[in-house]
Amino acid sequence: MRLEDIIIKENKKVAHDTYLLSFVSSDMAKEILPGQFLEIKVGEGLNNLLRLPISIHDVIDDTIYMLYKVIGNGTKDLTEYKTGAKISALGPLGNGFPKLEGEKEVLLVAGGIGYGPFPLVIRNNNNYKLFYGVSTKNEIAKDTTFKLENDKVNVATVDGSEGHKGFVTDILEEYILKNGEKDKIIFSCGPEIMMKKVAQIANKYNIESYLSLEEYMACGIGACVGCVKKIKNSEKKEGWEYKKVCKDGPIFKGDEVIWE
């Protein structure tokens, strides 16, 4: 983990309210695992006190990419940073997705900006299928470091403007029904309601799954206990324990998450 002042290489709009930011750091690039994130400090003042957690989208040579969606003040201010601007970044943080062993096909299930971490997973593993769900087609980040036009990519839009009309979990389950559940593993990132459904599908077909959970974070390094989630643990009296999303996660096994 490093604390660096990074210099922005590019910060460009790639879809509705969605931007791709890149910078060069050979030290960070060497350390990053797929599914890890950075905590970045955007702006000054009371509106921007906390750092923002943003997943690492991709790493190409020494260049690190992040895909982000405008939500509130921090991400809105981030869009104003141009090439050459300086920003403080802490990371890489978090555990990352597990290393894939053997011949398993990885089913990547992304909801909206939850697509963020997957190009780096794909760069390390060609045996994948990507299921990418958004509300409407102008939210699809088609052309970042990864080009979506590819027969391993399946898109779902809620309004039917592109791909399957409906939810991304529909096309995930259809694929499993058609191709069987053998030798498959699921990685997912997106809204909690979607990941809960992904975990149910994974349990139904007995497929191992890993979910990247989102939680409000203050410190990002395990010091403030501000980001806890209930995770099953049969050795505890209650059958569960609180785990820190920033340090123990953000990625947890789908069958261990307790949804509230």
Residues found near ligand FAD in the complex (CB under 6 A): 37, 50, 52-55, 67-69, 71-75, 113, 116, 214-217, 250
Phi, psi for residue 30 in degrees, rounded to 5: -70, -30
Minimum Å distance from CB 64 to ligand FES?
21
Of 27 and 216, the one with the shorter C-beta distance to ligand FAD is 216
Of 33 and 218, the one with the shorter C-beta distance to ligand FES is 218
224: CB partners within 8 A, 6+ apart: 218
Residue 49 in contact with ligand FES, rule: CB under 6 A: no
**Residue least distant from ligand FAD (Cβ):** 72
The partner in contact with residue 225, picked from ligand FAD, ligand FES, none with C-beta cut-offs of 5 to 8 angstroms by kind, is: ligand FES
Known binding residue 246? Answer is: yes
Strand partners, 45: none
Q: What one-character-per-residue DSSP string does 183-221 give?
A: TEEEEEES-HHHHHHHHHHHHHTT-EEEEE-----SSSS
Binding mask 188-227 for ligand FES (x = CB under 6 A): -----------------------------xxxx-xxxxxx
What's the angle, vertex CA 20, arms to CA 226 and CA 22, rounded to 5? Answer: 90
Q: Which of 158-196 are b and which e, b meaning 16 or more Cβ less than 10 Å from the residue's Cβ?
A: eeeebbbeebbbebbbeebeeeeeeebbbbbbbebebbe
Residue 7 in contact with ligand FES, rule: CB under 6 A: no
Known binding residue 224? Answer is: yes
The residues binding ligand FES (CB under 6 A) are 217-220, 222-227, 244, 246
